[in-house]
Amino acid sequence: MASTFVLLLITLVVIGVLKIVSVLHHAYFYWKNKGVPYLPNSLSSFVTVWKVFLGYITFADYCEYVYRYFPNAKYFGGVDFFTPAIILRDPELIKDIMVKDFEHFPDHRTFVDEKVEPLFGKNIFSLRGNRWKEMRNTLSPSFTASKMKFMFDLISKCSHDFVNYLVNHPELCHTIETKAVFRRYTNDVIATAAFGISVNSMKDQDNEFYIRGIEATKFSSGLLVTIKIIFLRACPWLAKLIGLTFFPAATSKFFRKIVGETINARETQDIVRPDMIHLLMQARNKDSASASKMTLDDIVSQAFIFFFAGFDTSSTLMCFAAHELAVNQDIQDRLREEIQQHLAEGNGEISYESLSKMSYMDMVISETLRKYPPVIFIDRLCTKEYELPPSQPGCKNVIVKPDNVLMFPVYALHRDPAYFPNPDKFDPERFSEENKDNIVPYTYMPFGHGPRKCIGNRFALMETKILIAHLLQKFTFKTVEKTVEPVVYTKKEFTLQPVGGFWIGLEKREP
């Protein structure tokens, strides 16, 4: 019996190895056969890819490594989880694919199958084709200027509550890990703006909204995580069979419960609140022959992705902005002057209109997004055959086939000295009225471009600017012993996160 099991195990291992070799051979020679410069074309390149997933080098370093591999190419071939991919370097081609010829590249690649993980697979980021268009049209009114203005008061209250808590607890401020506290602020903002639920995560440290947010956004690189992602993408049917999911089951259950209860309360008590849940409820109740019928899972997934993106990505932006302001006191002082000017004009309050007029604030946040973009790569999926011009002299035109993946190395473009001189320097003046027109179009894209540009970018910018404004009104940001400059990124995360966290001091200002 034992020998039969061993023989079966050996057979399965051999079949698995042969399959992997076959897939690798196809992926790595796909572009060579098309006459395109390609990665990896050496053992060292292959090893570099796996160093990322095993946590030996940062994803940001890998992005710059591949970007610089072919400095004169408009694009080159690579691999995305064993699938042939094109990495684009040329801004004009990026414009064509993201905007001009969008109908050929309207979708993102599948990260995880919606049948395995409906919480992630049914959201607006993951949806494709007509289902994506329907959802985009449904959600777009949530992010108009009038809705932003309405949500401003909700967010401003969260910001005031957060800052006042820090003012009243000076013992927390001498040396503070900003990610730990800013996530509590973004948690409260999303809870009120998307779910209509009031939470104060500084006072109620262990509220379930916050705990579930930590669970849902806890990603790290390494062998086990890599194997899990590959398995979920390569064998979704088997993952579903054995109950493997991307997020903890308790997280999915919590969001289904909270959204279900919110919808039920609004329907039974006739509550109307102009937020995302309300728009999704309206879309669900609309009879349309052309649009797909919206389910509770669809609504839960949209609310969740808004929470998922806002909870972690926005708080990270705030952390990097606070870090740079602590390191660059002259920039901090100038920004505070602008804030105080608008406070004086508004009788001590910041309004939606005054925030939108803060030009230096906009420059500071734009430069933060340039130096520390929320995503390192952006992707598009080809759905209709497309012809690319030659990658470089001596190469042929290339036909991009449906299901080919295209990757845009955002982090590397933002750090290219040809587009942003002295890229490691934090310099808001790059985005001044005099200088911003000098930025080559499509070399700066923290939120992407075109119809699939991040739908919530205005919301993220607003909640970030409000918090920075209120904090600078009450505190001076200082470097402390634990502050590391320049930032050293951890190799254990796929996003930009510093080793050991974000540490600064908040020194209370005299009224």
Q: pLDDT tens digits, the chain, 511 residues: what are they?
A: 556 656 666 665 666 556 556 666 666 677 777 888 887 654 455 566 666 666 778 889 989 988 998 999 999 988 776 677 899 999 999 999 999 999 999 998 876 666 766 677 788 888 888 889 988 888 888 788 887 888 898 899 999 999 999 999 999 999 999 999 999 999 999 888 888 788 899 999 989 888 888 877 775 544 556 566 666 666 665 666 666 666 777 888 888 888 888 888 888 988 887 677 887 887 777 766 556 677 888 888 888 888 888 888 999 999 999 999 999 999 999 999 999 999 988 888 999 999 999 999 999 999 999 999 999 999 999 999 999 999 998 888 999 999 889 999 999 999 999 999 999 999 999 999 999 999 999 999 999 999 999 988 999 999 999 999 999 999 999 999 999 999 999 988 878 999 999 999 999 998 7
SS3 88: strand
Amino acid identity of residue 312, one-letter, is D
Give Cα separations from 386 to 85, 383, 406 (angstroms).
14, 9, 12
Considering only the C-alpha atoms of the chain, give the largest distance between any 2 of them, rounded to a whole number of Å.
Answer: 84
| CB contact set of 71 (below 8 Å; sequence gap of 6+) | none
On whether the CB atoms of residues 414 and 373 are closer than 8 A, the answer is: yes
Beta strands 176-177 and 503-508 are antiparallel
Flag whether 185 is in a domain: no
Cα angle: 180, vertex 182, 188; to 5 degrees: 110
Flag whether 411 is in a domain: yes
Flag whether 54 is in a domain: yes
Please tell me whether the peptide bond between 390 and the residue prior to it is cis, using omega within 30 degrees of 0. no
| DSSP assignment of 216-232 | HT----SHHHHHHHHHH
Burial of 199 by CB count in 10 Å (0-12 exposed, 13-18 middle, 19+ buried)? buried
Domain count, the chain: 1
SS3 content of the chain, % helix, strand, coil (to 5): 55, 10, 35
On whether the CB atoms of residues 390 and 397 are closer than 8 A, the answer is: yes
Flag whether 297 is in a domain: no
Flag whether 74 is in a domain: yes
Q: What's the chain's Rg over C-alpha atoms?
A: 24
- In whole angstroms, give the CA distance from residue 160 to residue 471: 9
Name residue 83's beta-bridge partners. 80
Flag whether 452 is in a domain: no
Which residue from 204, 202, 206 is spatially nearest to 160, judged by alpha carbons?
A: 202
Tell me which residue range forms the domain holding 60: 31-100+383-445
Q: pTM for this structure?
A: 0.89
On whether the CB atoms of residues 433 and 359 are closer than 8 A, the answer is: yes
Q: Is 173 annotated as a binding residue?
A: no
Which pair of tokens denotes residue 472?
Answer: 């600078």
Flag whether 421 is in a domain: yes
Flag whether 372 is in a domain: no
On whether the CB atoms of residues 499 and 392 are closer than 8 A, the answer is: no
